[in-house]
Amino acid sequence: MAVPALPDFPWDSLAPFAARAREHGDGIVDLSVGSPVDPTPPVVRDALVAATDAHAYPQTMGTPALREAIVRWYARRRDVTLPGVDAVLPTIGSKELVALLPLLLDVGPGDTIVHPETAYPTYAVGAAIVGATAVAADDPDDWPEGTTLVWLNSPGNPTGSVLDAAALRTRIDRARELGAVIVNDECYAELGWEAPFDDRPVTSILESAVVGEAASALAGVLSVYSLSKQSNLAGYRAAFVAGDPALIGRILAVRKHAGLIPPAPVQAAMVAALDDDAHVAGQKTRYAQRRGMLVAALTDADFTIDHSEAGLYLWVTRGEPALDTMAWLAERGILAAPGIFYEGEGSQHVRVALTASDERVAAAAARLR
Half-sphere exposure of 245 (CA within 13 A, CB side): 12
Count of CB atoms situated within 10 Å of the CB of 95 = 20
Task: Give the confidence band of 204 by pLDDT, cuts at 50, 70, 90.
Answer: very high
Count of CB atoms situated within 10 Å of the CB of 76 = 12
Averaged over 64-88, what is the pLDDT? 97
Domain boundaries, the chain: 10-39+279-368, 42-276
What class does CATH assign to 42-276?
A: alpha beta
Strand pairing class (29-30; 313-317): unpaired
How far apart CA 318 and CA 304 sit, in angstroms, is: 6
For 157-185, how does the pLDDT look when each residue is reduced to its tens digit (9 = 90+)? 999 999 999 999 999 999 999 999 999 99
Q: Are the C-beta atoms of 36 and 355 separated by less than 8 Å?
A: yes
pLDDT of residue 2: 60
Which range (133-137, 196-200, 216-220) has the least confidence? Answer: 196-200
Q: Does residue 236 surpass a pLDDT of 60?
A: yes
| Cα 192–Cα 299–Cα 324 angle in degrees, nearest 5 | 105
Averaged over 326-333, what is the pLDDT? 97
Mean of all residue pLDDT scores within the chain = 96
pLDDT of residue 213: 87
For 116-127, how does the pLDDT look when each residue is reduced to its tens digit (9 = 90+)? 999 999 999 999
CATH dotted code for 10-39+279-368: 3.90.1150.10
Q: Does residue 328 surpass a pLDDT of 90?
A: yes
Q: Does residue 6 surpass a pLDDT of 80?
A: no
CA-wise closest residue to 71 among 267, 242, 208: 242
Strand positions, DSSP E, 42-126: 88-92, 112-115
Strand pairing class (133-136; 112-115): parallel
Q: How buried is residue 339: exposed, middle or buried, by Cβ count under 10 Å (0-12/13-18/19+)? A: buried
How far apart CA 51 and CA 44 sit, in angstroms, is: 11
pLDDT of residue 214: 84
Specify whether the backbone of 93 is left (phi greater than 0), alpha (psi in -120 to 50) or beta. left
Q: Does residue 8 surpass a pLDDT of 70?
A: no
Q: Are the C-beta atoms of 131 and 4 separated by less than 8 Å?
A: yes
Q: Does residue 11 surpass a pLDDT of 80?
A: no
Q: In 3-state terms, what secondary structure has residue 72? A: helix
Q: What is the pTM of this model?
A: 0.94
How far apart CA 336 and CA 347 sit, in angstroms, is: 14
The DSSP symbol for 142 reads: G
For 29-62, how does the pLDDT look when each residue is reduced to its tens digit (9 = 90+)? 999 999 999 999 999 999 999 999 999 999 999 9
Q: Are the C-beta atoms of 114 and 143 separated by less than 8 Å?
A: yes
Residues in the chain: 369
Query: How much of the chain, in percent, has pLDDT values that exceed 90?
Result: 93
Half-sphere exposure of 366 (CA within 13 A, CB side): 8
In sequence order, what DSSP letters do the residues of 156-193 get, joined into one string? -TTT-----HHHHHHHHHHHHHHT-EEEEE-TTTT-B-
| Cα 129–Cα 134–Cα 140 angle in degrees, nearest 5 | 140
Task: Give the confidence band of 5 by pLDDT, cuts at 50, 70, 90.
Answer: low
